[in-house]
Structures are given as C-alpha cells and as structure tokens.
Amino acid sequence: MKHFQAILAQVQALLSSQTPRQVRALLDSLLEEELLSREYHCALLREPDGDALARKISLTLLEKGDLDSAFLSWVCNGLQAPTAERGTSYRDHQGHSLCATMELGSPEGSYLELLNSDADPLRLYHLYEQTDLAGEEEIELSSEPDMDTINYDQFSKLLQDMEMDEETREAYANIAELDQYVFQDTQLEGLSKDLFIEHIGAEEGVGENTEIPVEAGQKPQKRCFPEEHTVDAKHRKLAPTSRTSLNYLDLPTGHIQIFTTLPQGLWQISGAGTGLPSVLIYHGEIPQVNQVLPSSSPTVPSLPQSPDRPGSTSPFAPSAADLPGMPEPALTAHVNETEDTTSPSPCQEGPEFSIELPKWPESVERFQHSLQDKYKTLPESPSGPLVAVELVRARLERGSNKSQERDLATPDWTERQLAHGGLAEVLQVAGDCRQPRETQVVAVLGKAGQGKSHWARTVSHTWACGQLPQYDFVFYVPCHCLDRPGDTYYLRDLLCPPSLQPLAVDDEVFDYITRQPDRVLLILDAIEELEAQDGFLHGPCGPLSPEPCSLRGLLAAIFQRKLLRGCTLLLTARPRGRLAQSLSKADAIFEVPSFSTKQAQTYMRHYFENSGDQHKALGLLEAQPFLLTHSHSPVLCNAMCQLSKALLEQGTEVPLPRTLTGLYVDLLGPAAQNSPPGALVELAKLAWELGRRHQSTLQETQFPSVEVKTWAVTQGLMQQTLGTTEAQLAFSSFLLQCFLGAVWLAQCNEIKDKELPQYLALTPRKKRPYDNWLEGVPRFLAGLVFQPRAHCLGALVEPAAAAVADRKQKVLTRYLKRLKLGALRAGRLLELLHCAHETQEPGIWEHVAHQLPGHLSFLGTRLTPPDVYVLGRALETAGQDFSLDLRQTGIEPSGLGNLVGLSCVTRFRASLSDTMALWESLQQQGEAQLLQAAEEKFTIEPFKAKSPKDVEDLDSLVQTQRLRNPSEDAAKDLPAIRDLKKLEFALGPVLGPQAFPALARILAAFSSLKHLDLDSLSENKIGDKGVSELSATFPQLKALETLNLSQNSITDVGACKLAEALPALAKSLVRLSSLYNNCICDKGAKSLAQVLPDMVSLRVMDVQFNKFTAAGAQQLASSLQKCPQVETLAMWTPTVPFGIQEHLQQLDARISLR
C-alpha cells in the first residue's frame, strides 16, 4: 500500500501540471508498451476526473511489479516531453473537451481527499457524464441547482462501451485494499464510512432509514489527514429520523430529500450499505414536496458496488443490469440546498448550472414514434368479425416411437390451462423462468385459419397504444417476406424487411437496439413458411459478422441466443412438422384453440347483425350437423357464413352442402363461371406449386396473365398482403389454397395415375415420402374425384378436363379397398374416415366402416368435433360392438357424451376428470338414461398412476361412489371401481412417498383387485411407513393374487409389519412376486420365514438383492421345507456367500439363484 501511495503521489503531481495533449501522449505510450489494452486506453482518454485518472494509471503501473525509479523517470519524461500547446477548446477523437472536464472534475487528490471534500457526489457524476453527450451540444447553465438529471441510457452506454478487462479488475482489487487501509480505525464515524463504501464497492453497511445515535457531548473520532478542514461539515451528526413522509439528511450542499413512501411514478434505488436511505428516480414532472406520498411504489435494486460494475470508469455509475426498466428520463431530487460555512470546492466556486439530458437520441425517438404510427392501425381480420379466444398453455412430450423427437402434447379437456390474463400472462409466464440477460422464446401454435397472424398483429398494435411499457421496440415480421432463397441479410434487414414498408434504421438507432436487446420484442409470424430452411434452429453460427449472411445463419444466431441476446422472441406456427419438434427449449408454448359452440354462434350473430338473417343462417347450419362441427374453425365459419348469405339473398330454400368439398365448390362456382378461359386451372396450378415449396404468397409477375390476376383479386380469391410495398398477393385462406391444389391434382394429366394415392397421405412411403404441407388436399381430392361431376368438378373446369377424373376415380377406389385398417395409426385412420365421408360414395364408406377393429385406441391423438362426428357415424354403420380408448384426446364433453351414448359402444376409457365432469353435466341436465349408460360403460382397467393427479382423480372417483352408495352395497358400486383388477403405482422416489398415503386410504374400495404393482423403474420408496399403511388394507383385498413391493426401501421394520398382515391373504395370494432390492436383514427374513407355511396359496416368492446374511437365508430355506405348495423361492443376494447359496439350492431345487 505504501508503494501504491508513492506511485500515486508522483503521478498526481505530474498530471496536475500537464496539458491534455501531454496526458494523451502518456496514455499512447503506455498503449504502445502494451501496458494498457486498447479498450482500457479508450476508457482512460474519456476519464473526466483527474484524480481517478491518476489512480488508474498508478494501479496499472503497480500491477507490473516493483518499478524502479528509472521506470518512473521514463513516465515523467513521457509527460514532460516538449509539445506544442493547444487551446482550451482542444477536443479528443471522441469530440470531448479534455481540458474542460479536467477543470470541472472532482477536487484534486485521491479518494481520501474526496471523502473530506465538500463536493456533491451526484454533481461529480453529472460533470463526468457531460463528456458522453452526443455531438458537441452546449451545456445549458442554470441558476437553479435544485434538480439534476440522470439519463439511464448513458448508464448503459457507459457500461457497454468499456467492457471489464484485466486492468479494471485488478484496479478494483487494489481499491478494496485501499478501503481496508482507510477504515482500519474503528473510531471512524459510520456515516462517512458508509458514504465512502458506497462509491468504492464495499459490501456491508447501514441499511435504509437507519438512525445513527450520537450520545450527548460525545464527539466523533476519525483519522486525520493533512488536507482535513478544522470543521468538517460532512461529519455532522444526523438529526433523529421521524415517522413523517419526508426525512432530511444534513449534507454540506443542502438537504437531500429522502422519501420513506413514494408517489406513483417515483422509483426508489435503495442503497444497501450506505448512510443514505435511497436515491429517488422520477419519471416525468417531479411532485411537490408537500404532496401526500402514497406508500407503495416499485423498487429498483440497489446501486451496484464498483467491483461488480464491468467496465465502469466512474465510481458513481450504476450498472445497466442492476437497473432494469428504469424510467426515462430520470430525475434525482435535491431540495432546500443551502451554502455551507466551509470553503467551497473548485466546482462550487463557479456558477450554478443544471445539465438537461435527453431521454434518447433524437433519431431513436423519431424511429420509435414512426414504428408506433405504423402499428396503430389494426387491420381487420380476414376471417370476418373478431371473436376473442383465450390461449391455452401447451407443452411438448416425447413421442411413442423410439426417436428423440417431441410432439405437441394433447391435454385432457379439464386439464387445459387457459391464459385468462391475455397477452400480459403470455409474456409474463415465460419471463418468470427466464434467466437475466437471456433471450425469452414464446411460441404460439395453432392450425391454419385459427387466427394466429391476427393475434400477432394485435400484439404490435397493443404496444403501439402504450400497453407494453417493458418494450421500447416491437418488430412484427411476417415470414413470407423473408423466404427468398439465395438472398443475404443483415440484422436490420430482418427487423425491417425491405418489402414491409421499411423504416429507416440508421446506425445510431441500430446501435441503440443492439445495446439494449432486453427492450426489444421480435415477432416472427407464420414461421412454418421458413421450414424449407432445414435445420436453422440448430444450424451452426458464429459471432456476428459485419458481412451479410444467409437467413438460416441469422435465425440460428437468434434462436441459439448468440444475437440480440436478451430480447423477447415471439413465434407463431402450425403445430406440426419440424418446427414443433424444435421448440423444446422455448420458455413458454401456447396454443390458439378452436371456437366453442357459443363462440361460433357469437361469430355468426356478428356476421349477420345488420341483415336480420341470423336465425335463418343458424337454421341452415344446424340442418347440416357435419358442417356445424366445422364451425369451430374461424376460417370455415366465415366460409359457411358467406355461402349462407348468398343462399339467403337468392331467396331459395337450397340447403347447405354436406361436405367441405361441396362447400368450396358452391363458393367458387359463380366465380368460375365469370372467369377468363382457363383462369381457375391456372390459379390452381399456382396454388399447388407454391404449396410444394411451403409458400402461400406470390408476386404479381408470377401470374400467367394480367387477366387472371385481376379476376382472382376481384373475386376475393387473392388479396394484397398486409403492410407490404411490393406487388405481393396471398390466397384469402389456407384452406382455399388446399382446395385449389386438389383441383389441380384432380384434372391434370401431368401426374401419373399410380402416383395419385400418395397424395392421400394415408400410408407412409419409405422412399421419397410425400410432404403433406397442404394438409387439406387429401379430403378435397377424394371429394372432387368421387362426387358427381356435374355438381362438383364439372362446375369449376371444362368438361374435357373434368373427364380425367373418371380414370383417377378407379385408381383411388382400388387403393382404398386394399387398405388394412388395423395397420393404420389413429391419426391416419381418422383421415381415412374423412376422405371416405367426402366421397359420398356408399360403397367406399361401408367398406371402410366394416373394416374397423373392435378395439379402437386414440390415446394421445387429438379428437376435434369433426373427428368425433365421422367416427360416430362410422361406428353406427359398422353394426358391431366397440371399445374406445379416448384418453389424452382433448375431446369436448359434448363429443364424449355423443360417443358414449351410441349403443354399439360397450366399453370406453377416458380421463377420470373428464368422465366425472360428464357425469356431473348429465346429472344436472336430467339425462338419467345417458348417465346410467356412461357409468356402466366406463372402465379404468388396468389403471396406472404416474402422477399425483392420477391418485387425486382416483380418490375423487371413490368419493363419488361413496356419496352415491353410502350403504356400501357392492351391487351398487360403480363398475369402474368394482371391476378394477390391476393397479400400478409408479411415481418415483420423490413423489411416491408423498402420494402413496392417499392411495392406501382408498385401496379397500377395490374389492376385485387381483394385481397390485408398487414397483417402478425409478423406485417408489414408500418405505416402512407405506408398508404399514398397505398392510392395514389386506383384510379388504380378499381377491389379491399378486403383490409387487420391489425397490421400496423396506427394512426389517416393514418386513415384520408385512409378515404380520400376510395371513389375511393366505387363501388368495399366489405370487408375492417381488420384495426385490430392498433393505431386509436377518430379522425381517426370519419374520417372512415364519409366516411362509401359513400362505397356503402362495406359489412364487422373490427376496433377491436384500441385506440378510447366511443365517437369514438358512431360515428361509428351512421354512421352505414346510411349504410344498411353493414352486419358486428366489433369494440370491450378495451378502450371502455363493457357496452357501449353492448348498441351499442343492438341498431344495425350488431355490432360484438367477
């Protein structure tokens, strides 16, 4: 420390007599000698505080080791080199006046002198910050010193300009030593020490609103320094704090106003470890002192300590990371400043002034306003009137196959978690689990036509209206504007694509965005259109290059959190394909649900609210139950409303069609009649070719002629993409593109007949599989080929083109009749039923229905209302009995009731919670007959509890039975409980001990239980307590034949309890199949050996991998001699010598050592 003081004194003396040019010459020479890094060199050039500059130079020299006088002489020579003098207006390469800042800087001397000076730390900070003002703006001088302005952007800019390097870390380590040296005198007054600690980085101090008692007549002691004043106003006693809304701390420059309760808009930065309770930051106009201050306000974390502030060159500059969301501009309030009797510092001798800093650079503020103006106009929904829907929380789960891919999980209807908080909850859910300064990824998934894009545009509109203050910038980017193979991109091209009415992003704006990515929300809409960029989520990416890169590389850098790290990334996509499998690292996943029946009716009422035909339109729709189930899709609901309106305007009583194919044929029929020759076929070809490339937009130049383009736009088949500057058009809906693609397949000669079945996408192909991106094509293709030509395909294309469909019909008929339905997965089976329904061909429909297997499992496959309709119709046509597994299908209660009510359905399995909700609903509606059928057909055999919710649902089922049958008459028990024969419990070592007591309490209700398996691959560990609870139920489990207690941490205590209770199962228990891998020792083995002769029905017993010794093994072997009914006793264990085990096996061959 003495060595440091010697170096510091010399450097201070040299710097005090040198010009800015000579100081810069010294720093340049230190850089050339590699004593400074380039970043630290730039930071020192901008250092406004002469004392701080001397200290940092001294620390840099000190860390090089013992420096002799020759080296210091070289430093002196470097400073005293003869150079031409510059004027006082000399500015460095950054445009800052070094001379001015040195003159207006802190008082000369070290931190010790700063401690004893009269300088206001906040004023010193502002004097430092003036060197960071953009350009060369003049500093306005003010005669009112009661308000200083702190700009949060300058905090961030300061910390990001100067990254923490080795020199800075070493400097702060030396400062810590200096701190220890200064405060080694324990008599130093607490307030002075605390003020000093706040600025040099000590970790401990006095908390907020702490009173420092000073007894009467006692004079505080402190270390004296040469520069100390006789009367030091800094160390005056504190007045006792009061409970009023304002407290005052007496400092030399006046009273700093300290609020114990804060008004709205006033933010508190609590200074832990300081004598000051807090620093106040206010957004907007500061309130009057005499205002009544409310008691609640947001609190910003405390000002950071110096060693924790990377790259900070000012001891008063807080870290940007420690001030999240700090209001801008921020004002620090000083009130009632008075002059002190002590001699003023050099800074106080000059005129009073106030520095007014702008909130942002002017160009950044202009850009934000332009962006808000762009998003303030909310475009109308292309699907008609808007009906609000609540997003549903979603998650990914591992698929049933052996691959590592994850698919979107299908929750049961009652398990859905709705985002009732709307957009705020969507963003908050992911923010809660985000690490600081990490990119937040939120995915919103939904089928085509569900309204994802409109929801995404609503987000940007909400921000433009000022309802998302946590973001400074929101960028909405439709991905169809980016999918241009061969193009290269900069980041600014992604934020503001040239085809989207781009705003000018100059260097200053772009620099601000990249420096504060946590204030940026980037929305990538319809990202499945970029799916052709295969692997961009996992593609290689390196550091950001100034050169343009491919879209894949740019997106990979953002998704992998290497670019714009800390931003919020909001994606919308369809829940299928490679994208959904790549969202395992997303912070939150939501799904856009379909319309409920009530929402569909609301949609139609809004659509016909001005025409008065609401009831007639609903009547037309209710007459076609299949189309009614499709009203849950917004885009199809809009199509049905359009056709209903056209039929009502004609005044005819023509009903709506019975299929989706008929719906779109009737919609496009009038447009096709008024089209230029071949226009619809040309448009259909474009739709098919775009779909093969995973695209739905095209340029005007891609149309075969201007007439075709004009006709398509006029008829509403194509529409201008929102917000684009280029001549870009998109299909009015995704299903329309699918229908037009099917029209092309049905009438073209370019596709061979033998290749046509692959486009139904029912049987997967190992070689060149068909990418079913246009997922609606199979159903439309079946309908166009099989339905009567005059009313279907013939109404859209020329007769010669329609005749081609006859040949295609024979090919598809032969293919459908050769299909083996038993080999199809549940999803493909449902697709086949839809295709058969669209054909309206009785022969094909009956053939498919009669091929259905007796047991249909849809476990994990989502069942939508249209799926439920075609499935129910097929079951009725089949004329045989069926059992259905409807677990994890998300089936609605009404659909579940419709399937359960079918006479051909004799058994069904569904979620316990969904089933009990159905029972309750039927009971409230008075559907006694259907309720009885739902109870009798429901089964849970076999039941496997894999989560605490499964145990809770099973308990609820038992409680429901007890409420309905208080007399415990077995004849009135629910069949699901009465007939349960196998129960598995597999919750693992953490949840198992917690959930087993609840299961043990209801086990007695399952009187027919034959197999109780408490084993789990990950161990349940129910322990001795669990065995004790289980043993108490044995008298009621009179049918139990198999009991598995493997891997449950059972000791001798549990084994003894088990042995005491086993005689209750003597006549039923056939297999005590496993006490494998427990902790049973000799005492437990002896108890089991004693009860073994009483188990007259026991055939198999397994006690392998326990802790008993040869004595326990011999007791079991001796007991086995008395049990002729036992066939196998498996008891190999490593604690018994193998020779003894072999000897026991030789005595009785029933002993197994495998």
Query: Radius of gyration (Cα) for the chain, nearest Å?
Result: 40
pLDDT greater at residue 814 or residue 752: 814
Residue 70 pLDDT more than 70?
no
Q: Can you state the angle between helices 614-622 and 634-650, rounded to 10 degrees?
A: 110
Give the span between the Cα atoms of 735 and 961, in whole angstroms.
Answer: 47
Query: Residue 518 has what DSSP assignment?
Result: G
Of 19-23, 34-38, 153-157, 887-891, which one has max mean pLDDT?
A: 887-891
Cross-strand pairs, 279:
269
Tokens of residue 1121, six digits: 């001699």
pLDDT of residue 553: 80
Q: Is the peptide bond between 329 and the residue preceding it cis, with omega within 30 degrees of 0?
A: yes
Give the span between the Cα atoms of 456 and 448, in whole angstroms.
Answer: 14
- Edge to edge, the sheet with strand 588-591 lists 392-394, 588-591, 440-445, 568-573, 520-525, 473-478
Give the span between the Cα atoms of 15 and 27, in whole angstroms.
Answer: 12
pLDDT of residue 529: 74
pLDDT of residue 421: 74
- What is the residue whose two structure tokens read 């597999």? 986
Position 719, amino acid: Q
Residue 1108 pLDDT more than 90?
yes
Give the span between the Cα atoms of 618 and 622, in whole angstroms.
Answer: 6
Q: What confidence tier does 501 reach under pLDDT thresholds 50, 70, 90? A: low
pLDDT of residue 238: 37
Residue 74 pLDDT more than 80?
no
Q: What angle do CA 256, 258, 262 make, to 5 degrees?
A: 140
Best CA proximity match to 1006, nearest among 973, 1028, 1030:
973
Q: What confidence tier does 433 reach under pLDDT thresholds 50, 70, 90? A: low
Residue 1042 pLDDT more than 90?
yes
pLDDT of residue 584: 72
Q: What confidence tier does 1114 reach under pLDDT thresholds 50, 70, 90? A: very high
pLDDT of residue 130: 46
pLDDT of residue 720: 81
Give the span between the Cα atoms of 624 and 640, in whole angstroms.
Answer: 11
Lowest mean pLDDT among 297-306, 415-424, 772-781: 297-306
CB 27 within 8 A of CB 15: no
Evaluate the CA torsion angle 698, 699, 701, 706 in order and state its sign: positive
Q: How far is CA 1144 from CA 230, 421, 940, 1134, 1140, in A?
A: 99, 69, 44, 15, 6
Q: What confidence tier does 841 reach under pLDDT thresholds 50, 70, 90? A: very high
Residue 205 pLDDT more than 50?
no
Residue 198 pLDDT more than 80?
no
pLDDT greater at residue 82 or residue 1041: 1041
pLDDT (tens digit per residue) in 667-725: 999 999 888 988 999 999 999 999 888 888 888 888 989 999 999 999 999 988 765 65
Tokens of residue 1006, six digits: 């399952």
Stated length of the chain: 1154
Residue 901 pLDDT more than 60?
yes
HSE of 345, CA atoms in CB hemisphere, 13 A: 24
Per DSSP, the three-state class of 987 is: coil
**Strand pairing report for 278-283 and 266-270:** antiparallel
pLDDT of residue 131: 42
Residue 1023 pLDDT more than 90?
yes
Query: Residue 379 has what DSSP assignment?
Result: P
pLDDT (tens digit per residue) in 503-534: 778 888 888 888 889 899 999 888 877 754 44
pLDDT of residue 722: 66
Residue 76 pLDDT more than 70?
no
pLDDT (tens digit per residue) in 145-193: 344 444 545 555 555 554 444 555 555 556 655 555 544 443 334 333 4
What mean pLDDT comes out for the span 386-414?
Answer: 73
pLDDT of residue 430: 65
Tokens of residue 507, six digits: 């260097």
* C-alpha 14 chain-centroid distance: 57
HSE of 693, CA atoms in CB hemisphere, 13 A: 13
Per DSSP, the three-state class of 422 is: coil
Query: Residue 527 has what DSSP assignment?
Result: G
Query: Residue 235 has what DSSP assignment?
Result: G
Query: What residues have CB less than 8 Å from 315, skipping those under 6 apart?
Result: 52, 199, 200, 306
pLDDT (tens digit per residue) in 92-149: 433 443 333 333 344 444 444 444 455 454 444 444 444 444 343 433 433 343 444 4
Of 431-445, 1015-1029, 1047-1061, which one has max mean pLDDT?
A: 1047-1061
pLDDT of residue 946: 92
Residue 1054 pLDDT more than 90?
yes
When the pLDDT of each residue in the chain is averaged and rounded to a whole number, the result is: 74
Evaluate the CA torsion angle 1092, 1093, 1094, 1099 in order and state its sign: positive
Cross-strand pairs, 720:
729
Q: Is residue 955 classed exposed, middle or buried when 0-12, 13-18 and 19+ CB atoms within 10 A define those classes?
A: middle
Q: Which residues of 523-537 are buried (b: 16+ CB within 10 A; e: fewer)?
A: bbbbbbbbbebeebb
Q: What confidence tier does 2 reach under pLDDT thresholds 50, 70, 90? A: low
Residue 778 pLDDT more than 90?
yes
pLDDT (tens digit per residue) in 947-1006: 999 999 999 999 988 887 776 666 678 899 999 999 999 999 999 999 999 999 999 999
Give the span between the Cα atoms of 441 and 438, in whole angstroms.
Answer: 10
Position 655, amino acid: P
pLDDT of residue 906: 95
Q: How far is CA 24 from CA 28, 33, 104, in A?
A: 6, 14, 18
Give the span between the Cα atoms of 163 and 680, in whole angstroms.
Answer: 62
What mean pLDDT comes out for the span 715-738?
Answer: 82
Tokens of residue 64, six digits: 């090089």
pLDDT of residue 35: 80
Q: Can you state the angle between helices 826-839 and 865-878, rounded to 10 degrees?
A: 80
What mean pLDDT comes out for the span 546-556?
Answer: 75
pLDDT of residue 801: 78
CB 830 within 8 A of CB 891: no
Lowest mean pLDDT among 486-495, 625-634, 972-981: 486-495
pLDDT greater at residue 495 or residue 247: 495
CB 760 within 8 A of CB 808: no
pLDDT of residue 657: 93
Give the span between the Cα atoms of 847 and 840, in whole angstroms.
Answer: 13
pLDDT of residue 244: 35
Best CA proximity match to 1059, nearest among 1045, 269, 1047:
1045
Give the span between the Cα atoms of 642 and 634, in whole angstroms.
Answer: 12
What percentage of the chain reaches a pLDDT higher than 70?
67
pLDDT of residue 609: 82
Q: Is residue 982 classed exposed, middle or buried when 0-12, 13-18 and 19+ CB atoms within 10 A define those classes?
A: middle
Q: Which residues of 14-36 are buried (b: 16+ CB within 10 A; e: fewer)?
A: bbeebbbbbbbbbbebbbeeebb
pLDDT of residue 100: 36
Q: What confidence tier does 826 reach under pLDDT thresholds 50, 70, 90? A: very high
- Edge to edge, the sheet with strand 905-909 lists 855-857, 882-885, 905-909
Q: Does the global pTM surpass 0.85? A: no
Give the span between the Cα atoms of 1075 and 1055, in whole angstroms.
Answer: 9
350 sits in the region (left: phi over 0; alpha: psi -120 to 50; else beta) called: beta
Tokens of residue 857, six digits: 């499992």
pLDDT of residue 75: 52
